[in-house]
């Protein structure tokens, strides 16, 4: 057993080679193993990146037995054969001496940093005994399972369901929940944006040039650089997207909904909207138009600080480029408690100009089944979902389904932060254990102190990670997962305008005693006596089940890594439909106008797009029609505190990856010169940020690129556990300043709050 006390930590962190010195002390870390040459498994292996959950297709090879060179998979055209800086740094994670490569058991208090190495068998046995005991005493629902979505969450949740618990959670309410629930309410399903073909893009704080998604980022670059698209950005600070925009408006945080509604007001009352489209495909227009009457640009200016004349002009410019224009509905949807209304208002502006299934607008994903139906032919093979018969039906209700208004939340997403309420206040019943994988809520949920309290109160906590993350530091057992470069996973659907599949494949032989998620949770399932629910032998047998044992297809996807079928199709785009019909002789006959408009259907109660919704009204009275409600995000004497992504780090995940930590290890706090002057603060000064729940020390970065009433910090910094040595204590910990609050209907965890600032 090795104890890492604060003095040892500071001593080693102060030295030049700090990270290695510390790592040699850490039990279960890679540094403890003999460093052998890297063994690749093939010359060039097509796989999938996991440096962030965008999961871009990559191609990787081992160079000189000691490094992995990663580039984009050229077969995936929209990704341009490229990776971002984080994607290129995968080898730095793989070979990091501080990575954990042995299961660990806590031997001190939670969070104290005392660990011992144990065998996998011992880890499984301990977890199985603990969880089965809790199940026997309190029912399976007393255990929550959480993971960032992806292959890993699939396997963890399968275990959770086999165990009988309904309580499975992804990061949904800290990220996409707002726009996904808004899309479900309006379109009945998720929608995508066709940025690359857009001639006019209106962007509300979607910073694609730092919050990177290779395909969308490149799409927007292409639109701007090759096609001369105009980009208008509403953002409280001068982000990189704002810097590359034609126009930037420093909007007041949390007030985007007013500008979006005012754009809709102008589109409707200046007669700029697509009446034919509305008549044919949209329900609830009249109620919406009536509500929006009061939401004039002048009204919006008073709340958002965006000049009314600009809102009016932008609405006209936007409509002039219709339908090849788009209001980007954003990604991280946690700016305001009114996220549901805000994201619906952004969708509404798109619906009004009829850009649905048009180039440069919004569209629905075309998976094999849909695509083949239109082609009248089996153009793309499907992908099987190997299921297991007789899975137990959970007896208890989910902890987040206490109120009808949250009924649209999908069950493998869930309202993540309700784990805190259920543990601390037994609301709606007592949680007793939390099994998590690839998630670091201590950084990425809100109110760090509350998360600590929750983890301390639980009877049992398991974390599966590649590091002793800030959250894993409070676990009883840590399971070391192999990095993505060392593991195989299922074939995944990557369909966009046409069907596509891709697959993660192991690039190098496993280093250390780590395992992939599918194996960890299967083996744990066996130990828990649930082996009947895990009939597959290994990943290869799972993949073959997905492919209906088609060996030719198996070989193709393993060789290419990414396979797409057919031509891009947007149902209302005449040129695309014409090319499609030409290609497929049995294709469904088109309408008279040469499109598939009449075949467009939506999974809403009316089968149409619902601008206003009876279903929503029944779930949450007063919300059937999109409406503005005032919110108070800060006290009058406070400043808004907002956050965002930085290009060289991912969420609460990469701050200890050596190469990326070297690039950036601190997050200066952006403050406007007028605000800084008033408080006597200069760039480089040590400052204190204080909110209703926490206080953080940081370094000032005085810049005119932010509103006077707002401060900004990149998220994910300032880790407080000593094991994450390269990140510990560096910068402001955003989650420590944010109170835990939940938005209506979509359940989002809110990331904007009020703070006061002072020079130290």
Give the interface with ligand SF4 as residue ranges (CB under 6 A).
Answer: 49, 51-52, 54-56, 83-84, 86-87, 212-214
Residue 165 near residue 140 (C-beta atoms within 8 A): yes
213 touches ligand MGD (CB under 6 A): yes
For residues 159 to 198, the per-residue mask of contacts with ligand MGD, x marking binding by CB under 6 A and - elsewhere, is ------------x--xx-----------------------
Give CA separation, 546 vs 493, 496, 538, 557, in Å. 11, 20, 13, 12
3-class DSSP assignment, residue 326: strand
DSSP characters over 638-659: SEEEEEE--TT--TTTSTTSHH
Q: Which residue is nearest to ligand MGD (CB)?
A: 205
Select from ligand SF4, ligand MGD, Mo ion, none the partner in contact with residue 475, using the beta carbon and a kind-dependent cut-off of 5 to 8 Å: none
738 touches ligand MGD (CB under 6 A): yes
Select from Mo ion, ligand SF4, ligand MGD, none the partner in contact with residue 643, using the beta carbon and a kind-dependent cut-off of 5 to 8 Å: ligand MGD
Instruction: Choose which of 97, 140, 154, 236 interacts with ligand MGD (CB under 6 A).
Output: 236
Tokens read off for 637: 């004497």
Residue 146 near residue 159 (C-beta atoms within 8 A): no
Provide the minimum distance between the beta carbon of 460 and ligand MGD in the complex, in angstroms, as a whole number.
Answer: 18
Tokens read off for 641: 């505190």
Select from ligand MGD, ligand SF4, Mo ion, none the partner in contact with residue 205, using the beta carbon and a kind-dependent cut-off of 5 to 8 Å: ligand MGD
Given the complex with Mo ion, which of 175 and 223 has the nearer CB atom?
175
Given the complex with ligand SF4, which of 150 and 188 has the nearer CB atom?
150
With DSSP H G I counted as helix, E B as strand and the rest as coil, what are the percentages for the chain, rounded to 5?
Answer: 35, 15, 50
Q: How far apart are CA 384 and CA 407, in angstroms?
A: 28
Given the complex with ligand SF4, which of 51 and 223 has the nearer CB atom?
51
Q: How far apart are CA 101 and CA 265, in angstroms?
A: 57
Stretches 3-11, 24-32, 273-281, 330-338: which one binds ligand MGD (CB under 6 A)? 330-338
Given the complex with Mo ion, which of 212 and 737 has the nearer CB atom?
212
- Sign, CA dihedral 169-173-174-180, equals positive
Provide the minimum distance between the beta carbon of 323 and ligand MGD in the complex, in angstroms, as a whole number.
Answer: 24
Stated as kind and residue range, the H or E segment containing 515 is none
Instruction: Choose which of 127, 142, 172, 175 interacts with Mo ion (CB under 5 A).
Output: 175
Preceding amide of 323 cis, omega within 30 = yes
Alpha-helix residue ranges (DSSP H) falling in 458-598? 517-527, 539-546, 551-560, 574-583
Instruction: Choose which of 238, 406, 484, 602 interacts with ligand MGD (CB under 6 A).
Output: 484
Stretches 52-60, 184-192, 275-283, 545-553: which one binds ligand MGD (CB under 6 A)? 52-60
Helices (H) and strands (E) in the chain, counts: 25, 28
- CB neighbours of 515 closer than 8 A, spacing ≥ 6? 120, 479, 480, 481, 482, 523
Select from Mo ion, ligand MGD, ligand SF4, none the partner in contact with residue 207, using the beta carbon and a kind-dependent cut-off of 5 to 8 Å: ligand MGD
Give the interface size with ligand MGD as a residue count (CB under 6 A).
Answer: 61
Provide the minimum distance between the beta carbon of 171 and Mo ion in the complex, in angstroms, as a whole number.
Answer: 6
**Within 10 A of 729 (CB to CB), how many other CB atoms are there?**
17
Instruction: Choose which of 62, 587, 609, 653 interacts with ligand MGD (CB under 6 A).
Output: 653
For residues 399 to 438, the per-residue mask of contacts with ligand MGD, x marking binding by CB under 6 A and - elsewhere, is --------------------------------------xx
Given the complex with ligand SF4, which of 148 and 321 has the nearer CB atom?
148
The C-alpha angle with vertex 743 and arms to 465 and 650, in degrees rounded to 5, equals 30
- Closest C-alpha among 501, 484, 485 to residue 42: 485
Given the complex with ligand SF4, which of 83 and 311 has the nearer CB atom?
83
Q: How far apart are CA 356 and CA 543, in angstroms?
A: 35
Provide the minimum distance between the beta carbon of 84 and ligand MGD in the complex, in angstroms, as a whole number.
Answer: 6
Phi, psi of 225 (to 5 degrees): -85, -40
Sites of contact with ligand MGD (CB under 6 A): 50, 52-54, 148, 152, 171, 174-175, 204-207, 210-213, 234-237, 239, 251, 253-254, 256, 330-332, 335, 437-441, 444, 464-467, 469, 481, 483-484, 642-645, 647, 649-653, 712, 715, 734-735, 738, 751-752
**In the complex, which residues of this chain contact Mo ion (CB under 5 A)?**
175
């Amino acid at each position: 057993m090795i104890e890492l006390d604060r003095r040892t930590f500071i001593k080693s962190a102060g030295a030049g080679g700090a990270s290695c010195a510390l790592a040699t002390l850490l039990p279960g870390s890679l540094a403890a193993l003999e460093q052998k040459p890297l063994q690749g498994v093939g010359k060039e292996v097509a796989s999938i990146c996991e440096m962030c959950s965008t999961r871009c297709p990559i191609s990787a090879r081992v160079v000189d037995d000691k490094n992995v060179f990663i580039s984009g998979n050229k077969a995936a055209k929209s990704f341009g054969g490229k990776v971002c800086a984080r994607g290129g740094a995968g080898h730095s994670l793989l070979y990091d001496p501080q990575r954990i490569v042995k299961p660990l058991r806590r031997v001190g208090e939670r969070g104290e940093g005392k660990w011992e190495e144990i065998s996998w068998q011992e880890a499984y046995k301990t977890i199985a005994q603990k969880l089965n005991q809790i199940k026997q005493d309190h029912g399976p629902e007393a255990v929550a399972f959480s993971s960032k979505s992806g292959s890993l969450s699939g396997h963890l949740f399968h275990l959770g369901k086999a165990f009988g618990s309904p309580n499975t959670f992804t990061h949904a309410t800290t990220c996409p929940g707002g726009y996904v629930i808004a899309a479900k309410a309006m379109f009945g399903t998720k929608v995508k944006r066709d940025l690359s073909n857009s001639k006019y893009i209106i962007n509300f704080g979607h910073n694609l040039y730092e919050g990177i998604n290779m395909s969308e980022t490149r799409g927007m670059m292409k639109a701007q650089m090759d096609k001369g698209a105009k980009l208008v950005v509403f953002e409280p600070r001068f982000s990189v997207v704002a810097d590359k925009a034609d126009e930037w408006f420093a909007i007041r945080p949390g007030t985007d909904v007013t500008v979006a509604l005012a754009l809709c007001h102008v589109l409707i009352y200046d007669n700029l909207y697509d009446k034919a489209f509305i008549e044919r495909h949209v329900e609830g227009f009249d109620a919406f138009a009536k509500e929006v009457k009061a939401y004039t640009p002048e009204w919006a200016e008073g709340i958002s600080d965006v000049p009314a004349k600009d809102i009016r002009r932008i609405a006209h410019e936007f409509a002039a480029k219709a339908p090849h224009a788009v209001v980007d509905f954003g990604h991280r949807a946690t700016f305001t408690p009114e996220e549901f209304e805000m994201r619906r208002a952004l969708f509404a502006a798109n619906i009004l100009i009829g850009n649905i299934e048009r180039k440069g607008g919004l569209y629905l994903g075309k998976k094999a089944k849909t695509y083949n139906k239109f082609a009248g032919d089996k153009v793309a093979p499907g992908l099987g979902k190997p299921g297991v018969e007789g899975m137990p039906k959970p007896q208890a209700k989910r902890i987040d389904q206490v109120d009808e208004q949250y009924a649209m939340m999908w069950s493998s997403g869930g309202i993540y932060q309700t784990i805190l309420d259920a543990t601390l206040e037994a609301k709606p019943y007592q949680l007793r254990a939390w099994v998590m994988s690839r998630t670091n809520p201590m950084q990425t949920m809100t109110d760090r102190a509350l998360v600590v309290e929750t983890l301390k109160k639980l009877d049992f906590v398991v974390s599966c990670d590649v590091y002793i993350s800030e959250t894993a530091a409070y676990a009883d057992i840590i399971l070391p997962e192999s990095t993505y470069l060392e593991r195989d996973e299922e074939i995944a659907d990557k369909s966009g305008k046409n069907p596509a599949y891709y697959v993660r494949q192991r690039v190098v032989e496993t280093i250390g005693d780590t395992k992939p998620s599918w194996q960890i949770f299967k083996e744990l399932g066996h130990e828990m006596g649930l082996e009947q629910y895990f009939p597959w032998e290994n990943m290869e047998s799972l993949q073959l089940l997905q492919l209906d044992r088609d060996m030719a297809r198996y070989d193709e996807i393993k060789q290419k890594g990414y396979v797409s079928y057919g031509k891009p199709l947007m149902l209302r785009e005449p040129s695309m439909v014409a090319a499609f019909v030409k290609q497929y002789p049995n294709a469904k006959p088109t309408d008279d106008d040469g499109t598939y408009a009449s075949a467009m259907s939506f999974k809403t109660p009316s089968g149409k797009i619902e601008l206003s919704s009876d279903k929503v009204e029944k779930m949450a009275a007063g919300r059937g029609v999109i409406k503005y409600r005032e919110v108070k995000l800060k006290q009058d004497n406070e400043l808004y505190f907002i956050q965002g992504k930085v290009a060289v780090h991912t969420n609460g995940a990469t701050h200890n990856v050596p190469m990326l930590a070297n690039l950036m290890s601190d997050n200066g706090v952006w403050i406007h010169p007028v605000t800084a002057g008033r408080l006597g603060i200069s760039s480089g000064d040590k400052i204190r940020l204080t909110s209703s729940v926490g206080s953080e020390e940081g370094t000032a970065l005085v810049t005119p690129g932010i509103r006077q009433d707002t401060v900004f910090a990149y998220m994910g910094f300032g880790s407080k556990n000593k094991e994450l040595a390269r990140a510990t204590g560096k910068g402001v910990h955003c989650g420590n300043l944010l109170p835990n609050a939940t938005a209506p209907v979509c359940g989002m965890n809110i990331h904007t709050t009020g703070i006061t600032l002072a020079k130290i």
